[in-house]
Amino acid sequence: MAGRTARLMLLAGAAALASGSQGDREPVYRDCVFLCEERNCSGGALKHFRSRQPIYMSLAGWTCWDDCKYECMWVTVGLYLQEGHRVPQFHGKWPFSRFLFFQEPASAVASFLNGLASLVMLCRYRTSVPASSPMYPTCVAFALVSLNAWFWSTVFHTRDTDLTEKMDYFCASTVILHSIYLCCVRTVGLQRPTVASAFRALLLLMLTAHVSYLSLIRFDYGYNLMANVAIGLVNVLWWLAWCLWNWRLPHVHKCMVVVLLLQGLSLLELLDFPPLFWVLDAHAIWHISTIPVHVLFFSFLEDDSLYLLKESKAKFKID
C-alpha cells in the first residue's frame, strides 16, 4: 500500500538523475566504454562475443554494449577506491555485482519473495473465505494486482530497461489505486455499490490518463512523483481514518500496524549507501522487510472478510 508510494517517490528522484551520475560522467568510464565497443561489438569480434555469451544472458537481453558498460563500471570503481574516493553511482544507480543475469540480485530475489508471499496468502484467503463474503471479489482482485506488480518489480530488478522500468512504475501505481478502491468498497461500497462502481470508473480513467501521458507524450519523472505522492496520501489517510473509526473491531489493529509499519520501513530508503558486498543496498533491505508486512495485511483481509460474512448472515437471519 503506502510503502509502494514511498518507493515510487525515491525511485523517481533517482531516475531523474539517471541521465548522468558521477560515475558515468567520468572520462575514464566513457573512454573505456568507447574502446570496448570499438574492440568487441562489431564484425568478427561481435560474433565471437555472441558465441561465448551464456544463453541465459542473451535470453535476458544482455548485449555487448551492456557488457562493456558493466566491465567499465568496475574499472572506474576500482580507480575510485584506489584513490580513496567514495564509490560513485552510474546512470542513477549504485554498482551491483551481477549474478547470472540478475542486475540487482538482492532486490530481484526480495521482490520475488514478496510476490510469493502474496500468492501464498491469496491461496490461504481463497481456502478460508467463502466466495459469498461481501469483500471476496475485491480482495482477490487486489491480490492479483499485487502479484502482477511484484512480478514486474522482479523483472525490473533483474533487467533494467525502459520497458521494465515503466511497467514497474505503472504496476506500482495500480496497486496504490486498487488499495484506495479496496478501502472505498470497505467504507461505503458495501452499503452503496453504485458509489463504489462510479469511483472505480474514475480510478480506471485516472490510471488510463496517467499511463497514456507517460507512455505516449513523455515520461515526466516530476509529474509521476507528484501524482503518486497524491494518491499515496489519499490511500494512507483513508485507511487510517477507517481504522480509527472502527478501532473496536478485534482485527483492525492488523491494518493499523501495516499502515504504520510501511511508513516507518520506507525510511530505510533514505539510507542511501553503496551496496554491502556489492549486492545488498537500502532498497533491497526495504524490499526484504516488507515481506511479513504483506502477510499481515492479507491476514487482516481474511479476518475482515470472515467478520463481514458473519455479520451479513446474522442480518439475514434477523430479516
The string of pLDDT tens digits covering residues 79-134 is 888 888 888 888 878 888 888 888 899 999 999 999 999 999 999 999 999 999 99
Distance (Å) of CA 181 to CA 13, 187, 224: 27, 10, 20
User: Could you give the CA distance from residue 226 to residue 233 in angstroms, rounded to a whole number?
Assistant: 11
Phi, psi dihedrals of residue 102, rounded to the nearest 5°: -85, 115
The label of the residue with cell 481456502 reads 127
Mean per-residue pLDDT over the chain, rounded: 85
How many residues are present in the chain?
319
The label of the residue with cell 533517482 reads 14
What does R_g of the chain's alpha carbons equal in angstroms? 23
Please state, as a whole number, how many other Cβ atoms lie within 10 Å of the Cβ of residue 59. 9
Three-state SS across 275-309?
CECCCECHHHHHHHHCHHHHHHHHHHHHHHHHHHH
What's the start-to-end Cα distance of the chain, in Å?
37
User: Could you give the CA distance from residue 13 to residue 9 in angstroms, rounded to a whole number?
Assistant: 6
Q: Is the pLDDT of residue 169 over 50?
A: yes
The whole-number average pLDDT for the span 200-208 is 95
What confidence score (pLDDT) does residue 18 get? Answer: 42
What confidence score (pLDDT) does residue 184 get? Answer: 94
Q: Is the pLDDT of residue 209 over 90?
A: yes
Nearest residue to 66 (alpha-carbon basis) of 167, 156, 160, 149: 160
pLDDT in tens, 270-302: 677 878 888 888 888 888 989 999 899 999 999
Decide: helix, strand or coil at residue 100: coil
pTM for this model (two decimals):
0.83
The label of the residue with cell 542486475 reads 103
Tell me the DSSP string of 40-85. Answer: HSSHHHHHHHHHHS-HHHHHTT--HHHHHHHHHHHHHHHHHHHTTP
Report the percentage of the chain scoring pLDDT > 70. Answer: 91
User: Could you give the CA distance from residue 290 to residue 281 in angstroms, rounded to a whole number?
Assistant: 15
Which residues fall within 8 angstroms of residue 155, CB to CB, at 6 or more apart?
164, 167, 168
State the pLDDT confidence band at 1, using cuts at 50, 70 and 90: low
State the pLDDT confidence band at 25, using cuts at 50, 70 and 90: confident
Give me the domains of the chain, ranges plus CATH numbers.
22-95 (no CATH), 105-317 (1.20.1070.10)
Sign of CA dihedral 136, 287, 224, 19: negative
Distance (Å) of CA 177 to CA 19, 128, 200, 248, 297: 29, 26, 9, 27, 16
User: Could you give the CA distance from residue 319 to residue 313 in angstroms, rounded to a whole number?
Assistant: 10
177 CB burial (10 A radius; 0-12, 13-18, 19+): buried
What confidence score (pLDDT) does residue 312 get? Answer: 72
Do 254 and 303 contact (CB within 8 A), yes or no?
A: yes
What confidence score (pLDDT) does residue 207 get? Answer: 94
The kind and range of the H/E element at 200 are helix 193-212
Decide: helix, strand or coil at residue 102: strand
Which residues fall within 8 angstroms of residue 147, CB to CB, at 6 or more apart?
115, 118, 119, 122
